[in-house]
Structure 1
Amino acid sequence: MCGQESLNDMLSTTGNPCDDIQQLNGAISVWEYLQTAEVSERLISSLNLFREELAMAQIAYDLNNPNPAPEDVIHFVDTFDEWMATSIIRMEETSRNIVNGAITNMDALWTEVSTSTADEDRRELAYTTLEHLDNMRHHVDRINFPRINLGIRFPGSGNKV
């Protein structure tokens, strides 16, 4: 833990935790927005339109390369599906890690404030902040994208086009 001087330094640079909490809520809200039916359907529709374009490009490629060597075979749609699935999973993991890390760091700071400060208002702010952080921990699982509705295949999900 930190001494009173460094705690005061942190508090002077940390300021009001509301901005940080709003940013974390915003990160979670983006994923909740992506899960709404209208947005999800539009995104999935766009992805599937792009997949159709890739399928047409695949036909043109195959017509121009009728007997490719095995190492030259390209599967445009499958490659895109694999890339997109991996990218979405990576975005989810990165978002969860960032939010969880920020919650952990803020929790440590505001726990220190709650136990170290004699200022009643600052202690009240710390307790309120800790309550918000605890609540936020239960919302991190909202950072996901529904796999069963996507036209792309996710590793191990069993969903097929």
Structure 2
Amino acid sequence: MSNPRSVTVPRILGIDPGSTIMGFAVVDGGARPAQCVIDCLRLPKTDFPTRLGLIFERLTAVIAEWQPDEMAIENVFVSRNAASALKLGQARGAAICAGAAAGLPVAEYTPSQIKQAVVGRGSADKTQIQHMVAMLLAVPGKLQADAADAAAVALCHAHTAHTAGRLQQGTQRSRARA
């Protein structure tokens, strides 16, 4: 995807948070098929505060290079392992800080909202998400799971924002006629 684009099409940075692998995708929301870059930040096995700093630093570089207009991130999935959930939440916080520091509006979505928007079922599995993301974005080959999840977050936001915009336009037209 090249950086120049139409101003009317929002560029969305989708994030699938992780403390060792963080998926990211930059998707031009209104393009058909959407233009995109899908990748992962692979963090070294080092102390946790260093990894958090690297998340912030590397996402700041991604934001500077691709200049997204908005950011969307998956909410923390609470599991039985509280320590893992806490680390995931901290990694997510470092990612949100990178977006906020760049002045991006940040939207948050639950895993079921993302699956529903991309696959049509809130209980879809990873392979279904990978398949649908590849189809929707015309990506050849198999996508890495974290990268596909990040693209799904961006697509969810694009679909949700598009629908919200259409609803708002309809409401404004109704009020103008009244």
TM norm structure 2: 0.23
Greater relative contact order structure (CA < 8 Å, 6+ sep): 1
Greater strand percent: which structure? 2
TM-score, normalized by length of structure 1? 0.25
Greater radius of gyration (CA): 1
Which one has the bigger helix percentage?
A: 1
